Structure 1
Amino acid sequence: MNKKRITKSSGNVFADMGLPDAEEMSLKAQLVINLQRLMKLHSLTQREVAERVGTDQPSISKILRGNLDLVSVEKLLAWHSALDQEVDITIRDKFSRRANPKNKQGKVSVQACFCPA
């Protein structure tokens, strides 16, 4: 009988794979996924997005296909702003609550709300 070994995910696939800058890569991926959702929601083409954010269509295409090294978190945030999205950054102090003393690293995440106007 062949038993399969299952490893529980940390919630960050990049960290699970042992990649450097895993937290940044995860944040970029979340922002790109959000960009794809915006494009679908507003029926925007890659060319239209490129024009609005000040880049070219091939760059948008590469980033949407996962070439995250081509763009910074700052640039992705600026693109969201250029696409008329409100970007809020919230910092919460979890130090004093110490729910899990073994995990001393914070968490960065993207929460998007596409509410009808």
Structure 2
Amino acid sequence: MSPGTDVHETRGSVFADLGRPDADVHHLKAQIVTELYRLVTARGLTQTAAGAEMGISQPEVSRLFRGHFREYSVERLLGFLTAFERDVEIVVRPHGKPGESGRVSMKVADPS
């Protein structure tokens, strides 16, 4: 680490820490893209092959994996996961603290 570099512990989402609007959605998208990257890497696919699976071009895959996923909806990113033979299950349950807004999160059940 360089001298003068500030390091801060996150409270769970760097997007929330930065005060981004829709921080939960940005965090969810980042989690989905991280899983897509893991799947592509585990399968040894090129970005061109990954793009063919997802129905997008190689440059779009490159942008996606470099963190430029703002233009993609959560629905489209979830569709990319299903293209990699993944089931996506959405579970809605009561939030643990009455009076507080719920949160959006993702959990990978089986990384294989």
Q: TM-score range by the shorter chain?
A: 0.7 to 0.9
Segments of 5+ residues of structure 1 without an aligned counterpart are none
Aligned pairs, number = 106
Report deviation, 1:74: 0.7
Q: Which residue of 1 aligns with 2:111?
A: 114
Segments of 5+ residues of structure 2 without an aligned counterpart are 1-5
RMSD, aligned α-carbons: 2.0
Q: Which residue of 2 aligns with 1:93?
A: 94
Percent identity over the alignment is: 37
Q: Which residue of 2 aligns with 1:13?
A: 14
Per-residue CA distance 1:57-79 (angstroms, 9 max, x = gap): 10010010001213111110001
Secondary structure of the 2:79 match is: helix
- Aligned-partner Cα distance in 2 for 1:93–1:12: 21
When normalised by structure 2's length, the TM-score is 0.84
Q: How does 1:1-117 map to 2 (within 5 A)?
A: 9-94=10-95, 97-98=96-97, 104-112=100-108, 113-115=110-112
- Aligned-partner Cα distance in 2 for 1:88–1:33: 17
CA pair 9-51 structure 1, distance change in 2 beyond 3 A: same
Maintained 8 Å contact 1:63/1:70:
no
